[in-house]
Structure 1
Amino acid sequence: MHIPDGFLDPWVAGAFWLGSGVAIGLAVRRAQSELGDERTPLLGVIAAGIFAAQMLNWPIPGGTSAHFVGGAFAGVLLGPSLGILAMTAVVTIQALVFGDGGIVALGANLFSMAVVDVLVGYALFRAFRGVHETGAAFVAGWAAITVSALVVGVGVGLSSAFAYELGTTVSVMGVGHAVLGLVEGAITACVYGYVSSARPDLVLGRREDDMLASEVGS
C-alpha cells in the first residue's frame, strides 16, 4: 500500500500532496475544538498500535503489497479529524524513519491511508451502526482499505513511470485488497467490540446516545 518514490509522475504526486494538505489542514482546524474530548488521549495509543500492525506486509501480484492499514479503526474510535491526524503521524513516521514509502510519494500515501481510509471507514460505520455496531465496524474496515487500494491503483496507473497500466493496477490493487480486506474488517470489528464492551464511554456517539435515551426515559 505504501508507494515508493519513482512510481508516480510529478503531476500525480503533486495532486496527491495538494489533496492531502487540504484534508489534513481541515482536520487540524476541526481537531482544535475536540481537544477536551475523551478520545483525545487515545490518539497516541491508537497511532502506536496501528504503526506496529502496519509493519507486517504481504506481497501480492503486480509488484505491490498489502498490510493492515487501520484507517477505518482510527476513524471509528477517534472520529474523522483525530483519525486523520493519527494516521498522518503513522504514515509520516514510517516514511521518514523507516523508509516505508517514498518522500515524494508521501502525499499520495497520506491521501490513501490517512484521508480516504479514515473518511470512508468513518462514514460507513456511522451509516450502518444503527443496524449492528460490530457489523458496521467490519464493513467499515473492509470497504475503507478496498477504496484506499483503488486510489493507490489509480495513482500509479496514471503514472507513466510505473510499469503497469491503469487497468492492471486498479484490478490488482482492488481485487487483492478486497480479499485481504476481510482480515482488516475482522480485526477492526474484533477490536471495536472489545473497546465498546470495556470502555463504552470512548465509543464514538455512544455517550450522546445514552444521554438522549436517559432524557427520553425521564
Structure 2
Amino acid sequence: MHVPDGFINAPVSVAAGVLAAGAVAVSLRGARRELSGGLAAATGTGGERTAPLAGLVAAFIFAVQMLNFPVAAGTSGHLLGGALAAILVGPWTGVLCISVVLLMQGILFADGGLTALGVNITVMGVVTVLVAHGLFRALLALLPAGRRTVTAAAFAAALVSVPASAAAFTLLYAIGGTTDVPIGKVLTAMVGVHVLIGIGEAVITMLTVGAVIAVRPDLVHGARGLSTPLVLRVGGRPVEAAPTATAPTATTSDPTTRAPGTDPDPAPVTGPAPDPASTPARSPRAVWVTGLVTALVLAGFVSFYASASPDGLEKVAADQGIDRKVREHAAADSPLADYGIEDVTDARISGGLAGVIGVAATVAVGSGVFYAVVRRRRTDRGADESPRVPDATG
C-alpha cells in the first residue's frame, strides 16, 4: 500500500508529514523505554545489545514486504508489518521500524513517493501499529493467558490492522485526493481487497510470532509474562532468578520456593547460593543470526517467485481512476529502482541482489537508529543521576 507521489495534494501531504514527524518524535522517547527496559532485561544486557534485534525486525519486515502474494484475480498483497513489529518489539519501537523500512524503500528503491512519505508512515506505520497494539492488548486481557492466546491475538490484530490502514488512506484521499472520484466506491474497494490482504498478513504475523515464542518468549514484547520465573529462597528471603538463568545451586528444602508446576517436594540441592546479579543470561545472538539469514533468503531468493500482479492500492487506483495525476518518483533513476540492479539483465540475479542489499542496508540503518536511541537514554539517565555539587551556602 505504498502511496506514490500525486495521489494526495500538497497541503494534506504536508499535514500528514507533520503528523508522522510528531509520531516518530514521540516514538523515539517510548522506544528508549522499550529497548532499555523489558528487552534489555530479557537479554540480561544493556540497551546497546537490544538495538540489533530491533534493527533485525525492520530488516525482516523489509524482506517479507517483497513477497507479494495473490489475493484475487489480478490483485496481490504484501505484509504491512505494523502488527508484527508492535508485538515483537513494542508499539513505539514498532512505529520506528516501519518508518525505517519506508524510508529505505523510498530512497533506494523508488517504492512509495518521497512527498508522500508522511502519508505512508501515517497509514502503514502509525495506524497499523496503534490498531494492532490496542486490539492485541485487549484480547490478552480478555482471554486466558498462554502462548496460544498470544498467537491468536496476533492473528486477529494483524487481520484488523490492514483494512484499518486502507480506511485511513481513504480518509486522507477524501480530504486531499487529486482526482474527483466517488469516495464511497474507493472505500468499499479499498477495504474489501485489504480484508483479503489482511488474512495473509495475519497468517504471516501469527507464524512469525509463534516461531519466536517457541524458542525465546522472553524476546517477544507481547509475550512477557509467559515464562514463569524460578523463585529461590536466599538468606531467608525469596529472590526471583533471571528467566534465562542456569540451573540453581542454592540450598533449599522449603517447598514454597519451588517454581509453579514443579514437584511439590523436590529433593534439596546443596551448594553455595547464587548471586542473582551475576547469573549469566542467554545471548540473543542465535535468534539474530537466524532471523538475518531468513530475511536474506526471503529477499534474495524467495522474492523471485512473488506475485507480479499489482497490489491492492495499485489495483483500486487503476480501477477507480485515482491514479490519473500520479507523478514519476524522484528516485526513479536510482540504480536499485523497482527492486533490481541497473545493468544486470538476469531478472533473478538482479532482484536477488537488490533484495540482499535492501536487507543489509535496513538492518544497518535500523540498528544504528536504535543504538542512538538507547545511547541517548543512557546519557540522559547518567546526567539525571550525576551527583549535585553543593552551592556556597551548603
Work out whether residues 158 and 165 of structure 1, in 8 Å CA contact, stay in contact via their aligned partners in 2.
Answer: no
1:26 is matched with which residue?
26
Task: Give the aligned residue type for 1:34.
Answer: E
* Counterpart secondary structure, 1:5: coil
* Residue 171 (str. 1) matches residue 182 (str. 2): no
1:117 is matched with which residue?
128
* Counterpart secondary structure, 1:127: helix
Aligned residues: 217
1:155 is matched with which residue?
172
Counterpart-to-counterpart distance in 2, 1:3 and 1:41: 29
Counterpart-to-counterpart distance in 2, 1:26 and 1:117: 16
* Counterpart secondary structure, 1:41: helix
Work out whether residues 2 and 109 of structure 1, in 8 Å CA contact, stay in contact via their aligned partners in 2.
Answer: yes
Task: Give the aligned residue type for 1:46.
Answer: V
Work out whether residues 20 and 119 of structure 2, in 8 Å CA contact, stay in contact via their aligned partners in 1.
Answer: yes
2:353 is matched with which residue?
none
* Counterpart secondary structure, 2:97: helix
Task: Provide the alpha-carbon RMSD of the alignment.
Answer: 2.7
- Higher Rg of the two aligned structures: 2
Work out whether residues 40 and 78 of structure 1, in 8 Å CA contact, stay in contact via their aligned partners in 2.
Answer: no
178, 197, 200: which is aligned to 2:217?
Answer: 200
Shift of 1:141: 0.7
* Counterpart secondary structure, 2:114: coil
Counterpart-to-counterpart distance in 2, 1:60 and 1:157: 26
1:45 is matched with which residue?
56
Q: How high is the TM-score relative to the length of structure 1?
A: 0.88
Work out whether residues 134 and 192 of structure 1, in 8 Å CA contact, stay in contact via their aligned partners in 2.
Answer: yes
Give 4+ residue runs of structure 1 displaced > 6 Å after superposition. 58-61
Alignment of 1:1-218 (within 5 A): 1-36=1-36, 37-38=39-40, 40-57=51-68, 66-130=77-141, 131=143, 132-162=149-179, 164-204=181-221, 206-208=223-225, 210=227
Task: Give the aligned residue type for 1:95.
Answer: G
Task: Give the aligned residue type for 1:17.
Answer: G
Work out whether residues 12 and 155 of structure 1, in 8 Å CA contact, stay in contact via their aligned partners in 2.
Answer: yes
Task: Give the aligned residue type for 1:27.
Answer: S
The 3 A distance-change label for structure 1 pair 167 and 158 is: farther
* Counterpart secondary structure, 2:84: helix
Work out whether residues 86 and 93 of structure 2, in 8 Å CA contact, stay in contact via their aligned partners in 1.
Answer: yes
Task: Give the aligned residue type for 1:192.
Answer: V
Counterpart-to-counterpart distance in 2, 1:42 and 1:149: 29
Deviates more, 1:130-139 or 1:72-81: 130-139
Shift of 1:211: 5.6
- Structure holding more helix per residue: 1
Counterpart-to-counterpart distance in 1, 2:71 and 2:7: 17
The 3 A distance-change label for structure 1 pair 163 and 25 is: same
Counterpart-to-counterpart distance in 2, 1:45 and 1:185: 20
Work out whether residues 166 and 194 of structure 2, in 8 Å CA contact, stay in contact via their aligned partners in 1.
Answer: yes
Q: RCO (CA 8 Å, sep 6+): is it higher in 1 or 2?
A: 2
Work out whether residues 71 and 114 of structure 1, in 8 Å CA contact, stay in contact via their aligned partners in 2.
Answer: yes
Counterpart-to-counterpart distance in 2, 1:85 and 1:52: 16
Deviations 1:21-40 (A, max 9, x none): 11110001222233333454
Shift of 1:79: 0.5
2:44 is matched with which residue?
none
Shift of 1:207: 4.0
The 3 A distance-change label for structure 1 pair 5 and 28 is: same
Identity between Structure 1 and Structure 2 (%): 38
Deviations 1:3-37 (A, max 9, x none): 10011012221221121111110001222233333
